[in-house]
Amino acid sequence: MAEKVLEQLRIKLKEGLTEAVIKNLLDDLRDEKVLGKEEIEEIVQKTKTRADQARDLIDGVSRKGTKASEIMLKCLKDRDNCLYDNLNIDSCLEIPETGATCSPAPTPHSTTDKQNKLVSGDEVYKMHSNPRGLCVIINNENFPDPKSKRNGSQKDVDSLNDLFEHLGFLVEVEKDKTADQIKALMIQYSEDARHGDCFVCCIMSHGNEAGLMGCDDQICPLNDITSPFDGDNCPALVGKPKVFIIQACRGHKMQTKVVVKDGAGVSHMKKSGKVYSIAKDSDFLIALSTVEGYVSLRSEYSGSWFIQSFCKHLKEGSEQGQDILRILTHVNNEVSLEEGFIQDKNNEIVDAKMIPQPQFTLRKLLIFKAPKRHAAASKQKKT
């Protein structure tokens, strides 16, 4: 039965499986002795796209029969419960073998016309302006103490710049700003006449529990960064999403490692033509690279764990129509699984672990959509 479920959901699974989930499933299936080393190497060949890897994984397991397929579906439930539930797999497995086919659970993209109208209108932020809006990237790399230089941060700048240009934003990069200059920039951009359907601000610096550090070693509180864009101070962005991506330490503690065992709105009130009100601090998303009190990790050679994972998953997720909170959940999972070592303040080598922390007052689904010209160029490049 399980192999028939894999075959029936083959296309939707191929579209929904991300690179990170495919990697985790392959590890699980190797541990369970469903797939061998050579089979896995064949699936993850560098020349294969994510979709090719997903297809070969599904086909390879389903050919091995019921037991192998059951193990894969169980692993999928552990690794991506959201996709598992959206495809209604538990119900599919309960259907008797009478030739009936299972259907995915109702989602914003597979419901009645009435439901589709609700999701595409009242429940999703508009993302049609061209450009989509402003994306401001502030990178503090150099500080008074040369030892505090944030080596590798330019990798993050390049990744963010490429990502948001691809998504249709007007990107502007600011480098090495003092705390007062950061505050002034936020006020300046809140008054900018070029706002579209969304505003994005990415800030990378040192920091602590009190806020982010300017290149003068002075602290800029997070509230001084976000408050210029609230409903009182920035009328142009009322009802529109304001996204802040923050890569900075929020303390000096190092997160410890734990072992995980397997198994372990108001929109409906809006009426056409009727004025309604929302709280002034609505429509914010603040994606913090780590939780309060802890350090945030960065490689001198490949950039920060959080920003690099964020850029990869947002590009991939936006192509699949995923909303930002689902994407950030994938980012949380991937970053939490990262392994490394770091020298602490006592010059001792300790395990390097971290977990990002999104905070939001979003009222609707936020789905980033690349303009058609970008999507067409991307498709042409792949062929």
Contact between 218 and 224 under an 8 Å Cβ cutoff? The reply is no
Q: How far apart are CA 67 and CA 72, in angstroms?
A: 9
* 366 HSE (CA, 13 A, CB side): 24
DSSP string, 14-68: HHH--HHHHHHHHHHHHHTTSS-HHHHHHHT-TTS-HHHHHHHHHHHHHTT-HHH
Residue with tokens 């086919």: 101
Instruction: Indicate if 313 belongs to the active site.
Output: no
Best CA proximity match to 59, nearest among 105, 113, 17: 17
Contact between 349 and 253 under an 8 Å Cβ cutoff? The reply is no
User: Cβ neighbours of residue 283 under 8 Å, at least 6 residues apart?
Assistant: 125, 237, 239, 240, 241, 242, 361, 362, 363
Instruction: Indicate if 215 belongs to the active site.
Output: no
Q: Which residue of the set 249, 311, 313, 330 is catalytic?
A: 249
Best CA proximity match to 220, nearest among 261, 253, 186: 186
Active-site residue numbers? 206, 249
